[in-house]
Amino acid sequence: MICIECSKATNSLYHKYSSTNLRLTRCSNCNKISDKYVEYDKVLLFIDLILLKPQAYKHLVYNTNLINTTVIAKQNYKAIIRILILINLFEVYLNWAYEEINFSESNNAIILNNDNVILQYLFFIVKVGLNNAIYHAIIQFIFKFFGICRYDFDLIEFDKEDGRDYKIVHPNNVLQYIDQHNDKIFHYHPNRVIIDTIILLSNITKLLPVFIIIWPYDLITLRLNMILIKLINNYFVYVNLNSCFSDYKFKNEILLSIVLSNLVSYLVVEVFLMRVVRSIIV
């Protein structure tokens, strides 16, 4: 758990004195409320996510059970997987609908000409899945290459009878520390999981084209809107990776990772994948 204002570790987010008396704790570093979203309604939290408030993203990434783990080898990411599946299915539908509207000039016309609906559906699942996998992988690679880390340390939490205790460990010594204290129940969040979670939460902007598909637009307006939403999504990823992960210490490197991930995913999916599909079908 961290303070969503200054990103410093905190022992607790609140103290519960009774079933009706819950008091939020103040951060010992900045003296602000550690996490105000503990008492927020989920609708208000969602609005703040749309408004790109870094505190809302920090709350979800670090202070909820979204990516909590117990034993490092048995990480529980059920909530993340559900969100991933939901966003991917929406994206498959939106891609499919957009390509059918743009049929006359679509690169995927060879697939859309096929009467087999299941084949079309599988194609768009593979296309969306491959695109997202490459996008995540390139960003992870750039972060690893430049040594971009949340902090200069990794925070390991372990359970105690009266709550949780914390240990600050250098990233290179995490596994060694856990092996030496394997009698304790750990809650450890690897950097790669934090990165994927931030990207995934930023991808809520990909759902905005639903409203574009519902109401009729001319083809040019539709294309411009799709390009604009793509830019907005990348901007969300850029801002959230900076604010929630590196505190704006690696702005250029993060921008490079997003540009490269888009370029590589486009070349692989729109060029290589379509060549493979054409060679199989023709």
Whether residues 65 and 110 share a domain: the answer is: no
84 occurs within a structural domain:
no
Prediction pTM value: 0.78
> Do 102 and 55 share a domain, yes or no?
no
Picking from 56, 46, 40, 45, the residue whose alpha carbon sits closest to that of residue 5 is 56
At 93, the amino acid letter reads: Y
Please say if the pLDDT value at position 76 is more than 80.
Answer: no
Residues 1 and 65 in one domain: yes
Give tens-digit pLDDT for 227-273: 888 999 999 999 999 888 777 788 999 999 999 999 999 999 888 88
**Are 261 and 135 spatial neighbours (Cβ–Cβ below 8 Å)?**
yes
Tally of domains in the chain: 2
Q: Give the closest residue to 209 by CA, choosing from 233, 245, 192, 190.
A: 233
Give the residue from 236, 201, 185 showing the smallest Cα distance to 64: 201
pLDDT grade, residue 72 (50/70/90)? very low
> How many Å separate Cα 202 from the centre of its chain?
6
Instruction: Say yes or no: 46 and 121 in one domain.
Output: no
Helix 191-202 to helix 219-241 angle (10° resolution) is 150
Do 15 and 140 fall into the same domain?
no
Burial of 205-220, coded b for 16+ CB within 10 Å and e otherwise, reads bbebbeebbeeeeeee
Whether the pLDDT of residue 105 is over 70: the answer is no
* Spatial separation of the C-alpha atoms in residues 264 and 267, rounded to whole Å: 5
Higher pLDDT, 118 or 114: 118
- Shared-domain flag, residues 27 and 117: no
- Whether 36 and 126 map to the same domain: the answer is no
For the cut 90, the answer to whether the pLDDT of residue 188 exceeds it is no
Read off the pLDDT of residues 145-178 as tens digits, 9 standing for 90 and up. 887 766 544 555 555 554 555 555 555 565 666 6
Rounded average pLDDT over 87-100: 85
In a domain, 169, yes or no: no
Residues 224 and 116 in one domain: yes
Full domain range(s) for residue 271: 91-150+191-281
Helices in 108-204 by DSSP H: which ranges?
109-112, 117-146, 174-180, 191-202
**DSSP H helical ranges for the chain:** 42-50, 54-62, 78-101, 109-112, 117-146, 174-180, 191-202, 209-214, 219-241, 251-266, 274-281
Residues 26 and 125 in one domain: no
Instruction: Indicate the range of 129-133, 259-263, 272-276 predicted with least confidence.
Output: 272-276
1 and 64 assigned to the same domain: yes
What is the distance between the alpha carbons of residues 134 and 140, in angstroms, rounded to a whole number?
10
Average pLDDT in the 1-5 region?
Answer: 83
Share of the chain above pLDDT 90, in %: 15
Averaged over 63-84, what is the pLDDT? 62
**pLDDT (0 to 100) of residue 274:** 78
170: in domain:
no
Last residue of a domain, one of 69, 102, 119: 69
| Mean per-residue pLDDT of the chain | 77
Residue 187 confidence (pLDDT): 52
Bridge partners of 159?
164
> Please, which pLDDT band fits residue 74 given cuts at 50, 70 and 90?
very low
Q: d(Cα 6, Cα 24) in Å, to the nearest integer?
A: 16
**Cross-strand partners of 166:** 157
What is the structure's pLDDT at 224?
84
Supply the pLDDT for residue 82: 82
